[in-house]
Amino acid sequence: MTTDEGLSPYPFVAQSTTVGAGATIGLVYGVVLRQLVSVGRIVALVLLALTTTVAGFAIGTSDTATITDAAGIIGNLGLAVVVPVVALVFGGAALGDLREDKTLVYLWLRPMRRFPVVFGAALAALTLVVPVAIPPVVLGSALTGVKEGIVIATVLATFVASLAYVAIFTFFGVWLRRYIVWGLAYILIWEGFIALGSAGVAQFAIRKYTRSILADITGADLQLADFSAAAGIGIPLAASIAALALASLCLARQDVD
């Protein structure tokens, strides 16, 4: 059944009872958060995130570790693998799983604006991404034993990365059936390979901006990190808003049944 924004797909639902934005966000947030919480999923992702902690500890045992070594671990593991993969699992599933198992239709029993639906789902995903991905990566940065602002830079870079990747992968979950496959292709092929060989393509890689935050604050010499910290924060935030807007537009045009 086709649903336009703000319209109920059910003829017996009064069109004047459109749910307000705040109520929609709260309702969707609760539904999606309960759907995303899985002990097995969380344990597996925490173990993935702890690889950064272990790597940071290993760097810290070396007397010759430099700020570039420490930032390299955070940039090449924490920001390149841990945060985007955790965000893909939770962000993609936020609405993607509801659509796949046909339960998304129950959100349309009363007419809702689509952007609050998307925002509530992304917020639920972010609620899980932040505690699962960020603390182990930040702990890894601290365990390197290197100063020069590495911990502060890691906190800021991982949070910005979490926001951006959650928004992008929430869009993937709405737009693409196999969001995990396409998300991994974006992380591993686009950002991990293609963006490294082309300065123009790199402008469309979130990794470039989050690595720039690390490099600008710490002074580390990192590849693919030539923006200022301000640009490293501002551009991913703008991309996040654009991704959520695209997701709401895509959701409004989808057939929900």
d(CA 145, CA 123): 33
Closest by CA to 24, choosing from 121, 127, 97, 103, is 121
pLDDT of 36 reads 94
The yes-or-no verdict on residue 6 having pLDDT over 50 is no
Q: Which positions ≥6 away from 34 have C-beta within 8 Å?
A: none
Distant-in-sequence contacts of 178-182, Cβ < 8 A, 24+ apart: 179/88, 179/92, 179/96, 180/88, 180/89, 180/92
The pLDDT tens digits for 135-156 are 999 999 999 988 879 999 999 9
Domain segments of the chain: what residues? Answer: 21-252
pLDDT band of residue 109 (cuts 50, 70, 90) is low
Q: Does residue 14 register a pLDDT over 60?
A: no
The pLDDT confidence band at residue 254, using thresholds 50, 70 and 90, is confident
Whether the pLDDT of residue 5 is over 60: the answer is: no
Q: What is the pLDDT of residues 32-78, one digit of tens each?
A: 999 999 999 999 999 999 999 999 999 989 888 889 999 999 999 99
pLDDT of 16 reads: 46
Task: Evaluate whether 65 touches 27 at the Cβ level (below 8 Å).
Answer: no
Which residue in the block uniquely carries the two structure tokens 């991982």?
Answer: 158
pLDDT band at 224 (very low <50, low <70, confident <90, very high): confident
| Cα 94 off chain centre by | 11
Of 32 and 1, more confident:
32
pLDDT of residue 33: 94
Higher pLDDT, 255 or 4: 255
pLDDT digits (tens, 9 = 90+) for 178-212: 999 999 999 999 998 888 777 777 888 999 999 99
pLDDT for res 82: 97
- Residue 102: per-residue pLDDT: 67
Would you give the DSSP letter of residue 221? -
User: 214 or 13: whose pLDDT is higher?
Assistant: 214
Q: How many CA atoms lie within 13 A of 68 on its CB side?
A: 6
| pLDDT for the residue numbered 89 | 97
Q: SS3 for 149? A: coil
20 pLDDT higher than 90: no
Looking at residues 81-93, what average pLDDT do you find? 97
Tell me the average pLDDT across 22-38: 90
Q: What is the pLDDT of residue 212?
A: 94
